[in-house]
Structure 1
Amino acid sequence: MNSVRVWVRNRKWVALVGVVASVAVALSSPAEAARRKSKGGGYSPPYASIVVDAKTGKILDGENVDAPRIPASITKVMTLYLLFEQLERGKLRLDTPLEVSAYAAAQAPTKLGVRAGSTIEVEDAIKAMVTLSANDVSVVVAENLGGSEEAFARQMTRKARELGMNSSTFYNPHGLPHSPPNITTARDLSVLGRAIQDRFPKYFSYFQTTSFQYGSRTIRGHNRLLGRVDGVDGIKTGYTRLSGFNLLTSVNTPSRSIVAVVLGGRSAALRDRQMAALIEEQLPRAYAGARTTPPVTETAAAAQPVPQPVVVADASPTPSVRIEASAAPEVAAAPPPPARKPLDLNSLRPVVASAAGASSTTTPSSGPKVRWQKGPQPLPQNTQAYAALDTDDGPSDKEKAALLAKIERAAPAAAAPSAPPQKTAARPATTEWVIQLGATDDEDKARAMLEAARAKSGRLLAKASPFTEKVVQKGSTLYRARFSGFDESGDAEKACKALKKNGFACFAARSS
């Protein structure tokens, strides 16, 4: 514990350091001082934390434990949970090659840099997600296990429900910004942190990896507490501009065991100090005897209610709620859910693209839900609740659209002045009807969707012309992946129907 004391004595000292730093910044920057004085202010990631005694299941300390938060790359712990599950079932081996699609290779950093058409072994994929937090590799895993990123995200949400993580909903396997974002709580992440080591002790040791060799490169990890704080043996960091700096940590000593979560840190260093202080304060309070609580187990997902969407219209700060030494609800023990069909890595479906919302002329589709996939979006300042939207059981598309519109209206202005909506087409659509596969914030990803669809469709799209259409609105840039070449709505619908059978999202729309 000496290493912790050298770092920071206690949380009061952390608070004092924060106050001193704030005063120093205010004195050195009049603009910053004015911003702090103003009621609106800049976006500040909302904070939450929890410390759970892994032997008893009791909450030793907590703040805003049930407030919705964005997990960022801690999302990958659930991705790894599902991957470990397939290893345990014998569906995969550590040396099983996973195929890399163009879509996976085109993911935003941080990434390992796997190339489209190549493969990566399961063990390397695990290490890349644990150490580098590789987004491209996360999508490789999602597509190989779920058939598509979107389908795999639904599996992640179902697994969350089975574990009792009733406030968590996932839309991607890596935690990159998305609209709506992945949502969780500090309590839910503590459940996941306990569950993954209870269920997979053989594979949990991968979270202790500080570096690994990939080809000629040495990949080093982001978790600075490993090797610096006694007892820390994982598990995952996370960061986006909206979430702040996040950390899920497991601590195991010969006599005590805790799982701790810090969400919304203002910097990586401050987050680490906050976590170190929590460990120093709460580990001595943890039970030193034999474990009294059963392992975290899975229950039938159908028995778990899906949270309804919640929007906070008032963006004023919500007071923090602290919890001291209260008992955490235990997840009832139950037989594991029936095993899914064995994986067939040679017959996986191509990626299901997230489609952009259509205009009023869009032809309704019975296929996968159509939604926007966006880059970073500002959320209301200090918002304490977000939409808990579930693809299968949540609100309708119309309700989702209205919900997202409320969030956008309440959001602070972007740094750059908003420009009027603009559209530019890489290849103009000259026919009356087009089909759209999706919309993404990366033009290369949009092109990859088109290439994958054409390769899979054979003669169906032989005469169709692929093109990307750039849309800029309120500071966000999206690239629609579209095919033109359809004179009749029936032809466009026929093409979409065939594409949906091959696992693609698709809808028909009039040329704009």
Structure 2
Amino acid sequence: MRQALSGFVSKSVFSLKTIMIVALAMSFVVADAGSSLAAKSAAIVIDAKTGKVLYSSDANGRRYPASLTKMMTLYLTFEALAKRRISKNTPVVFSANAAAEPPTKLGVRPGGSVTVETAILSMVTKSANDSSTALGELLGGSEANFARMMTAKARALGMNGTVFRNANGLPNPGQFTTARDMATLGIALREHFPQYYGYFSQRSFLYGRQRINGHNRLLGRIKGVDGIKTGYTRASGFNLVSSVADGDRRIVAVVMGGNSGRSRDNQMAGLIKAYLPRASSRGGGDLIAKAGGDGPMKALVKVFLPKHDAPTPDDKPAVEDNAVASNDDPTTPDVEQTSATVEEVTPVVQIKKVKTVAVAAATDASTAQVVAAFAEPAPAVDPVNTASVPSGWAVQVASSPSQSEAQAFLDKTTKQARSILADASGFTVAFDKDGVTYYRARFGFGSKNSAWNACNALKKKKIACYAVQQ
């Protein structure tokens, strides 16, 4: 009995030691994971008169743009205004899709409308997601087509590390950018559209009887700050692009991945204080070439992507910009998944050509005329290629030697299973086999479970698929 008891005590002590060791090891793992995510910040400061980089920290690392996406939506809006395709008083009709966007939003009901100017003001102050989608649908005929136009315009401006998937910056695993690209866009907005740039310094505006205040806390706090845009999702952290002028000196600074609104603003303030005095008082002329001559669709070229992936959270990140005004830290996103290369060969799916409709049905004749005047056909080349999606999981539904056919199959599958693929983004991935280039048609998901569940649901609809880690 004594021997048995001694053995039991010995085993218990051993088990306790084992538990303590495992717990200690886990604490190091958690600490390492936290520090890794904390290191996902990025920043850059550029002399807006000479183009010289005054400061850079992981400026080419891939990041989620969050509401900085709206800067490109506004760029294309300003371009349409400058070319008189629309006016400030053109009605922006809110479709059911636009009206259903999550906050922050203006709250226009389906079928309702506001003027282009009201939509602009709601975006630069309230960061309204519904206004962004409605403008994208007005200018592109559909938000998906507008996203292609946004990506094409990014390429034309030299933003080679950016892909857009929507008009507002709400979470999408296939949408990303870099701090350097956002600085490029910030400079381009001022240089190309000085007549509209003043909107970015708007701190509030009246919407009916309601005064809507902006999210950019540096306006009025730091001398010389005249915009540009804030952004936040749980996956992106707190982002900010600022344009600052002091006499003959001007800089554009970007901070991405801040832990809180306050820390991000304080980091930006420190960068402005340190580097604005170092900017040149000489120089001038446009740094970013205008790229509107042939239209954004003709600017599609090969995408050169940065090497670093942004983390793809398993849960859908917290919704845009609500937390920007507070000083509370957002919930930390899940640890980044490790990507894996899968060299499978999917049977080639032969499908019929799908006629692309670039202009969606408009609710009135005037809107239809505006859309028809501005919208361009979807590009034959999908801006996203092999390395352009952050690590995560995908559901593959087809493979074809024609990229347009692969994209058409994505569109067809989306229509057949809208509810299943509501939170997924479609994209194509090129791969070579026996000297022939094929294109996989895939939908991106943030976790293994979501991908497997979606594929099982698709199979019930007689849609062949399989889930794969990217």
Q: Do both share a fold (TM > 0.5)? A: yes
Aligned equivalents of 1:392, 1:88: Cα separation in 2: 34
Aligned equivalents of 2:407, 2:154: Cα separation in 1: 28
1:122 paired with 2:113, answer: no
The equivalent position to 1:238 in structure 2, one of 200, 219, 231, is 231
Change (3 A) 1:197 1:419: closer
User: 1:451: which partner in 2?
Assistant: none
1:51 paired with 2:45, answer: yes
Q: How far did 1:35 drift?
A: 7.2
Structure 2 unpaired stretches of 5+: 1-22, 312-334, 338-358, 360-364, 379-393, 399-404, 415-419, 432-437
Q: How far did 1:306 drift?
A: 1.3
The equivalent position to 1:201 in structure 2, one of 190, 194, 206, is 194
Q: Is the Cα contact below 8 Å between 2:430 and 2:440 reproduced in 1?
A: no
User: 1:307: which partner in 2?
Assistant: 304
Q: TM-score, normalised by structure 1?
A: 0.59
Change (3 A) 1:242 1:422: closer
The equivalent position to 1:398 in structure 2, one of 440, 443, 466, is 440
Change (3 A) 1:364 1:307: closer
The equivalent position to 1:346 in structure 2, one of 368, 379, 385, is 368
Q: How far did 1:398 drift?
A: 2.8
User: 1:146: which partner in 2?
Assistant: 140
Aligned equivalents of 1:45, 1:88: Cα separation in 2: 41
- Output aligned runs, 1:12-411, within 5 Å: 34=27, 38-41=31-34, 43-44=37-38, 46-180=40-174, 182-291=175-284, 294-298=287-291, 302=299, 304-307=301-304, 345-346=367-368, 348=371, 366=408, 369=411, 370=413, 398=440, 400=442, 404=444, 408=447
Q: Is the Cα contact below 8 Å between 1:68 and 1:167 reproduced in 2?
A: yes
- Output aligned runs, 1:408-419, within 5 Å: 408=447
Deviation digits for residues 257-277 of structure 1 (CA, Å, limit 9, x no counterpart):
000000000000000000000
Structure 1 unpaired stretches of 5+: 1-29, 318-339, 378-388, 426-431, 436-472, 474-512
- 1:346 is paired with a residue whose SS is helix
Deviation digits for residues 197-232 of structure 1 (CA, Å, limit 9, x no counterpart):
101101000000000000121110000000000100
Change (3 A) 1:35 1:143: farther
Q: TM-score, normalised by structure 2?
A: 0.64
Q: How far did 1:298 drift?
A: 2.2
- Paired AA for residue 183 in structure 1: F
Aligned equivalents of 2:455, 2:447: Cα separation in 1: 20
Q: Is the Cα contact below 8 Å between 1:47 and 1:262 reproduced in 2?
A: yes
Q: How far did 1:36 drift?
A: 7.9
Change (3 A) 1:114 1:35: farther
Deviation digits for residues 305-337 of structure 1 (CA, Å, limit 9, x no counterpart):
2136967699899xxxxxxxxxxxxxxxxxxxx
Q: Is the Cα contact below 8 Å between 1:35 and 1:41 reproduced in 2?
A: no
- Paired AA for residue 249 in structure 2: R
- 1:246 is paired with a residue whose SS is strand
- Paired AA for residue 440 in structure 2: K
Change (3 A) 1:345 1:50: same
- Aligned residue pairs total 348
Q: Is the Cα contact below 8 Å between 2:421 and 2:454 reproduced in 1?
A: no
Change (3 A) 1:238 1:303: closer
Aligned equivalents of 2:308, 2:183: Cα separation in 1: 24
Q: Is the Cα contact below 8 Å between 2:236 and 2:256 reproduced in 1?
A: yes
Aligned equivalents of 2:285, 2:396: Cα separation in 1: 54
- Paired AA for residue 302 in structure 2: P
- Paired AA for residue 236 in structure 1: K
Q: How far did 1:288 drift?
A: 1.1
Change (3 A) 1:308 1:290: closer
Deviation digits for residues 260-302 of structure 1 (CA, Å, limit 9, x no counterpart):
0000000000000000000000000000124266454228754
- Paired AA for residue 185 in structure 1: T
Q: Is the Cα contact below 8 Å between 1:50 and 1:261 reproduced in 2?
A: yes
Aligned equivalents of 2:406, 2:451: Cα separation in 1: 30
Q: How far did 1:46 drift?
A: 1.0
Aligned equivalents of 1:262, 1:228: Cα separation in 2: 17
Change (3 A) 1:254 1:168: same
- Paired AA for residue 260 in structure 1: A
- Paired AA for residue 230 in structure 2: T
Change (3 A) 1:393 1:308: farther
- 2:148 is paired with a residue whose SS is helix
The percentage of counterpart residues that share the same residue type is 43
Q: Is the Cα contact below 8 Å between 1:251 and 1:259 reproduced in 2?
A: yes
Q: How far did 1:419 drift?
A: 13
Q: Is the Cα contact below 8 Å between 1:236 and 1:248 reproduced in 2?
A: yes
User: 2:329: which partner in 1?
Assistant: none
